[in-house]
Structure 1
Amino acid sequence: MSWLHETLVGFDLETTGTDTAESRIVTAALVEAKRGEVVRERDWLADPGVPIPAEATAIHGIGTERAAAEGRPAAEVADEVAEALCGYWRAGIQVVVFNASFDLSLLSAELRRYRLPSLDQRLGGAPIGPVLDPLTVDRAVDKYRKGSRTLQSACAVYGVELADAHRAGSDALAALRVGLALGRKFSAEVGGVDPAELHRRQVGWYADWAGGLQEWLRRGKEPEAVVDGGWPLRTTADATAG
């Protein structure tokens, strides 16, 4: 049976910024769904322990004072989120993360910051996954489509409703539904592929995209540009959102 009919989990973080090494978790969500219908949602609000920049608050609506007053300690949140994620992977459940290399790399940095077990360690040395990244898949299977590749844009292209954008739970569910839409539209490349094989394909697709972007940047005004091609975790700790 195709993974399109199985339980999927959407994952999203809202953060203090876009640097995966330095930014902190503000909110997190894990949304379980079957055929796109929500079965369970878990949400976290963290006190990141640092001021939340105004530009980040303008996006997700959480300011420093609220996070400090209502949020739980950042280390507890990072630990719980990581353990919940790994619980799904241990069960063989596919986790859908839009721009996975950002969210998973930032979570990994938080685990290092608080000296908590890494994702790999929690999985007993097994590789992370399976992960479905609708951004990586969309870039690969509809390579020449013009326009932006944001979650909002993908929702518009694939007919997915995104209410309350930049709330972690809303974004996680929207990403999951975009993933399903991609699977239905591109059955041979996506929907009809075993999750483990689809994960492996995305490793190559992301590396190809990163290599192409790096080449394009180097031909222009950034001759020394380096685009990290690691997926679902970046290979450099200081990479920024892409």
Structure 2
Amino acid sequence: MELNLSKPICFFDLETTGIDVARDRVVEISILKVFPNGNKESKTWLVNPEMPIPPASSAIHGITDEKVANEPTFKELSKTIYNMIKDSDLAGYNSNRFDIPVLAEELLRSDIDFDMGSRVAVDVQTIFHKMEQRTLSAAYKFYCGKSLEDAHTAEADTNATYEVLKSQLDRYKDDLENNMKFLSEFTTRKQTADFAGFIIFNEDGEEAFSFGKHKGKRVEDVMEQEPGYFGWLLNADFPLYTKKVLTAIKLRKLNNKLN
């Protein structure tokens, strides 16, 4: 089954120096852009992460410091990458919890104002886990009847993810709609204002803290009652996207007062 698209969707996969969203960096990115008319565009880049790649990470994806020493940095690639995805929804495997948050950090670090406000995200892993509970290699074998060669290379994982989603739509046609908004909602585990889950939505749909001494309290109330807490959050070791969301809430509250 081909995807029913109202706008382009970019399947992508990242290989990184590690699994810390705020600190680790991209060493490889592959993007497969699928257009509503069925056309496809694919790009893969090796990336110099400007930090040592731990041997444990190299053992997984095969990318070493020597391999990326002369490759462009993410900042040098950032405008090209952003131009490819800026009009698109996003999809990946475990992308809601890892790849999209890491991509957001890298783009914000490169002074590109990335957000998810005009797009949806489809996490193919979540569909698989809700239906079958397996890994990407097993998903590829289960849904597509093929062995995943070169697993843990960004390009192979990206193309496999695209093929798996199409097969999932065929297999679960009675349960899944071929619609990116539906698939985004189906693959969203919980509603959060930021990728890392530090800011959640309460029962009234208002932003609230999910951690620390203000857990469960509305963000706007905390900013009003304890202004210094906002400054501490911006200077603390939180992801850049979380800080972007907090700043937007503060500006919104300020604008509401002025109006």
Fold match, TM over 0.5?
yes
User: 5+ residue gaps in structure 2?
Assistant: 199-237, 240-259
Instruction: Return the alpha-carbon distance in structure 2 between the equivalents of residues 187 and 157 of structure 1.
Output: 16
- By how many angstroms is 1:232 displaced? 9.1
> What residue is the counterpart of 1:222 in the other structure?
none
**2:124·2:187 contact (CA, 8 Å) conserved in 1?**
no
- Ranked by relative contact order (alpha carbons within 8 Å, sequence separation 6 or more), the top structure is 1
> What residue is the counterpart of 1:179 in the other structure?
165
Query: 1:98-177 alignment to 2 at 5 Å?
Result: 98-101=93-96, 102-120=98-116, 126-129=117-120, 131-140=121-130, 142=131, 145=132, 149-158=134-143, 159-177=145-163
- By how many angstroms is 1:166 displaced? 1.3
**1:47·1:74 contact (CA, 8 Å) conserved in 2?**
yes
Query: 1:55-94 alignment to 2 at 5 Å?
Result: 55-69=56-70, 71-87=71-87, 89=88, 94=89
Deviations 1:177-229 (A, max 9, x none): 11111111101222x342212212322xx12xxxxxxxxxxxxxxxxxxxxx6
Instruction: Return the alpha-carbon distance in structure 1 between the equivalents of residues 29 and 150 of structure 2.
Output: 15
- By how many angstroms is 1:80 displaced? 2.6
> What residue is the counterpart of 1:196 in the other structure?
181
Work out whether 1:235 is the aligned partner of 2:176.
no
AA aligned opposite 1:54 = P
AA aligned opposite 2:41 = R
Normalising by structure 1, we get a TM-score of 0.70
Aligned residues: 195
Instruction: Return the alpha-carbon distance in structure 1 between the equivalents of residues 182 and 162 of structure 2.
Output: 18
- By how many angstroms is 1:230 displaced? 4.3
Deviations 1:150-190 (A, max 9, x none): 21121122124422111111100001111111111101222
- By how many angstroms is 1:60 displaced? 1.4
- By how many angstroms is 1:119 displaced? 3.0
AA aligned opposite 2:125 = L
Instruction: Return the alpha-carbon distance in structure 1 between the equivalents of residues 34 and 86 of structure 2.
Output: 17
Deviations 1:129-161 (A, max 9, x none): 2x3211111222x1xx46xx3211211221244
> What residue is the counterpart of 1:10 in the other structure?
11
- By how many angstroms is 1:38 displaced? 8.4
Instruction: Return the alpha-carbon distance in structure 1 between the equivalents of residues 56 and 168 of structure 2.
Output: 31
- By how many angstroms is 1:14 displaced? 0.6
State the identity as a percent: 26
Instruction: Return the alpha-carbon distance in structure 1 between the equivalents of residues 162 and 90 of structure 2.
Output: 8
User: 5+ residue gaps in structure 1?
Assistant: 121-125, 208-228
Instruction: Return the alpha-carbon distance in structure 1 between the equivalents of residues 62 and 76 of structure 2.
Output: 22
In structure 2, do the counterparts of structure 1 residues 61 and 232 end up closer, same or farther at CA, with 3 Å as the change threshold? Answer: farther
**1:8·1:33 contact (CA, 8 Å) conserved in 2?**
yes
- By how many angstroms is 1:55 displaced? 1.1
> What residue is the counterpart of 1:23 in the other structure?
24
Look up the SS of the partner of 2:86 in the other structure. helix
Q: CA RMSD in A?
A: 2.8
> What residue is the counterpart of 1:50 in the other structure?
51
Instruction: Return the alpha-carbon distance in structure 1 between the equivalents of residues 167 and 125 of structure 2.
Output: 12
